[in-house]
């Protein structure tokens, strides 16, 4: 079945550093969404992408819709401690909505 694979699985970074993570699929997606989940809470939508090649920013976050439509990237600039959490990519698959495997981000102050 369709899957969304995220890398890295987890990462430790120093406060102030930039972060990059990606999400790949074996099949085409027409919409990519990025969510963040804090411990004990539900995911919160960060950015939605609707067009191949699209680059969208939300504050210090920037996401890109890959031109092959099989991948997407999320960058966080100048990380701060509250960026800690799990980042998920997601999208409407052929038959059902799918979430990725997640990237766990830990920021060292």
- Interface residue list for another protein (CB under 8 A): 4, 31, 33, 35, 40-45, 48, 50, 88, 90-92, 95-102
CA atoms of 107 and 109, how far apart (whole Å)? 6
Residue whose CB is less far from another protein, 41 or 82:
41
Is residue 47 within 8 Å of 32, Cβ to Cβ? no
Residue 14 CB, nearest approach to another protein (Å): 25
Residue whose CB is less far from another protein, 73 or 87:
87
CA atoms of 68 and 70, how far apart (whole Å)? 5
Residue 81 CB, nearest approach to another protein (Å): 22
Residue 42 CB, nearest approach to another protein (Å): 3
């Amino acid at each position: 079945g369709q899957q969304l694979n995220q890398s890295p699985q987890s990462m430790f970074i120093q406060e102030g550093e930039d972060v990059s993570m990606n999400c790949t699929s074996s099949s085409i997606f027409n919409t990519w969404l990025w969510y963040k989940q804090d411990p004990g809470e539900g995911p919160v939508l960060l950015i939605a992408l609707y067009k191949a090649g699209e680059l969208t920013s939300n504050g210090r976050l920037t996401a890109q819709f890959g031109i092959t439509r099989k991948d997407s990237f999320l960058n966080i600039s100048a990380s701060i401690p509250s960026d800690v959490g799990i980042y998920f990519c997601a999208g409407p698959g052929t038959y059902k909505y799918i979430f990725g495997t997640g990237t766990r981000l830990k920021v060292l102050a």
